[in-house]
Amino acid sequence: MIDIKYAGICHSDIHTARNEWGGGTKYPCVPGHEIAGIVAAVGSEVSGHRVGDRVGVGCMVDSCGECEPCRAGEQQYCQRGATMTYNTPVGEAVQPGGHTLGGYSTQVVVTDNFVVTIPEGIGLDAAAPLLCAGVTLFSPLRHWGAGPGKRVAIIGMGGLGHVGVKIAAALGAEVTVLSQSLSKQDDGKLFGAQHYYATADKQTFKDLRGHFDLIINTVSANLPLDDYLRLLRVDGTLVLLGLPEKPLSVQTFNLANGRRSLAGSMIGGIPQTQEMLNFCAEHGIGAEIEVISADQIDQAYDRVVASDVRYRFVIDTATM
Ligand code: NAP
Ligand code: ZN
């Protein structure tokens, strides 16, 4: 049992609360999968966490534990479907209402294997967004080898994107931000980006043609993928993280030409979440946050949708 101190607001919370993903939201819905808090109690068989520990919970609270991805520590790809922190059916016996309820709350009970340790050195408030945004960027950056000598672009400098810039820079990659405008350019450079371009400027797509090894798209809306595929070098990969409501289309010519790949990636497994937190602590990385009270959530949602967030809203649960 965890006393929740802070809960980050992910754009996925908004997609879910507003029922934007094919009508799958179960109400009453309690969003929140960027949870940071303190262990309040443990069951008799729990050995990895003690009362008083600083801990986090991300997007998942359980999985089958037996399938190939689960055994590989990639519970997010559980073949029977991981139990997500909110909006997953679990039956009345487990949770009154029949589905999981998330972190916009003061306490949560989670299977010990799905609880990670927040290292000393990262504040619980700045750590909360790492539980989703952090690992969602860390995982593909590691998988596709972001590091020295690699040119990496991050599309969209919001909650996910700004953490991605910090992590990619700490991994040693040459980082470029592709944002709608140049309004956040100074911040981008502070976070570690060497280059910053506005996608509203058509010249950007001419200047950067064939330039990147890896492009990570964090945008929550539909983008013209062909424009971005053309920015990849031979064998480059465009990874989609943003989960817009409507399907995207692609000219296959832009994949064939340059043997390019179009890929996706979903959060990260529990071991990698711990690895990411340790990496962030070692490199002094936390999310840039604006702490709000519970009665400001509706306003915060509108500001996230309007790209008016610098760079993650975090709810102080003491205000609930
Ligand atoms: P966010 O804070 O709203 O950031 C998204 C950024 O995309 C904005 O800050 C903005 O950046 C850019 N953007 C927004 N609307 C745009 C438009 N119409 N055209 C071009 N750019 C636009 O959201 P987030 O919390 O980072 O989440 C981003 C997306 O990732 C959401 O769809 C969310 O559901 C999804 N997500 C996926 C995973 C996964 O595992 N794959 C995990 C978490 C979240 P600029 O102002 O810099 O242009
Ligand atoms: Zn999220």
Ligand with minimal distance to 85 CA: 2
111 and 216: one domain? no
User: Atom 18 of ligand 1 has which residue's CA nearest to it?
Assistant: 221
119 and 138: one domain? no
| Amino acid (1-letter code) at residue 199 | T
42 and 141: one domain? no
Given a cut of 90, whether residue 245 has pLDDT beyond it is no
161 and 259: one domain? yes
The finding on whether 304 has its CB within 6 A of some atom of ligand 1 is yes
The finding on whether 217 has its CB within 6 A of some atom of ligand 1 is no
The finding on whether 179 has its CB within 6 A of some atom of ligand 1 is yes
- In tens, the pLDDT along 45-89 reads 999 999 999 999 999 999 999 999 999 999 999 999 999 999 999
The finding on whether 242 has its CB within 6 A of some atom of ligand 1 is yes
Domain boundary among 264, 294, 310: 264
User: Atom 10 of ligand 1 has which residue's CA nearest to it?
Assistant: 156
CATH number of the domain residue 208 falls in: 3.40.50.720
User: Atom 9 of ligand 1 has which residue's CA nearest to it?
Assistant: 158
What is the distance between the alpha carbons of residues 249 and 223, in angstroms, rounded to a whole number? Answer: 9
Q: Which of 188, 210, 218, 58 is nearest to 129 (CA)?
A: 58
CATH number of the domain residue 43 falls in: 3.90.180.10
221 and 173: one domain? yes
272 and 236: one domain? no
DSSP 277-311: HHHHHHTT----EEEE-GGGHHHHHHHHHTT--SS
- In tens, the pLDDT along 270-285 reads 999 999 999 999 999 9
User: Atom 29 of ligand 1 has which residue's CA nearest to it?
Assistant: 242
117 and 139: one domain? no
Q: Which atom of ligand 1 is nearest to the CA of 264?
A: 41
Query: Which of 160, 223, 303, 313 is the best mutation target for the ligand 1 pocket, counting ligand atoms within 8 Å of the beta carbon and taking the most?
Result: 160
The finding on whether 309 has its CB within 6 A of some atom of ligand 1 is yes
CA distances from 127 to 116, 122, 199, 284, 312 (A): 11, 6, 30, 11, 11
Q: Is the peptide bond before 86 cis (omega within 30 degrees of 0)?
A: no
The span from the first CA to the last CA of the chain, in angstroms, equals 18
Reported as a pLDDT band with limits 50, 70 and 90, residue 12 is very high
Domain of 157 in residue numbering reads as: 134-264
The finding on whether 243 has its CB within 6 A of some atom of ligand 1 is yes
174 and 217: one domain? yes
CB 141 within 8 A of CB 160: no
CB 257 within 8 A of CB 231: no
Residue 256, pLDDT score: 98
The first and second tokens of residue 92, run together, are 């009345």
Please name every residue paired with 290 in a beta bridge, in sequence order, or none if there are none.
Answer: 313
The finding on whether 59 has its CB within 6 A of some atom of ligand 1 is no
Using the structure block, give the residue that is written with the tokens 């950067």.
208
The finding on whether 15 has its CB within 6 A of some atom of ligand 1 is yes
Residue 23, pLDDT score: 82
78 and 222: one domain? no
110 and 138: one domain? no
Residue 121, pLDDT score: 92
Reported as a pLDDT band with limits 50, 70 and 90, residue 111 is very high
Give the Cβ contact number of residue 262 at 10 Å. Answer: 18
Q: How far is the CA of 150 from the centre of ligand 1 (A)?
A: 23
Task: Give me Rg for the CA atoms of the chain.
Answer: 19
What is the distance between the alpha carbons of residues 275 and 258, in angstroms, rounded to a whole number? Answer: 33
What is the distance between the alpha carbons of residues 198 and 107, in angstroms, rounded to a whole number? Answer: 42
- In tens, the pLDDT along 196-232 reads 999 999 999 999 999 999 999 999 899 999 999 999 9
Percent helix / strand / coil, the chain, rounded to 5 = 30, 20, 50
Q: Which atom of ligand 1 is nearest to the CA of 76?
A: 40
The finding on whether 300 has its CB within 6 A of some atom of ligand 1 is no
Q: How far is the CA of 164 from the centre of ligand 1 (A)?
A: 12
**Number of structural domains the chain divides into:** 2
CB 271 within 8 A of CB 58: no
- pTM beyond 0.95: yes
146 and 237: one domain? yes
Residue 213, pLDDT score: 98
127 and 140: one domain? no
**Cα angle value 170/34/22 (rounded, 5°):** 110
Measured in degrees and rounded to the nearest 5, phi and psi for residue 36 equal -130, 135
Ligand with minimal distance to 58 CA: 2
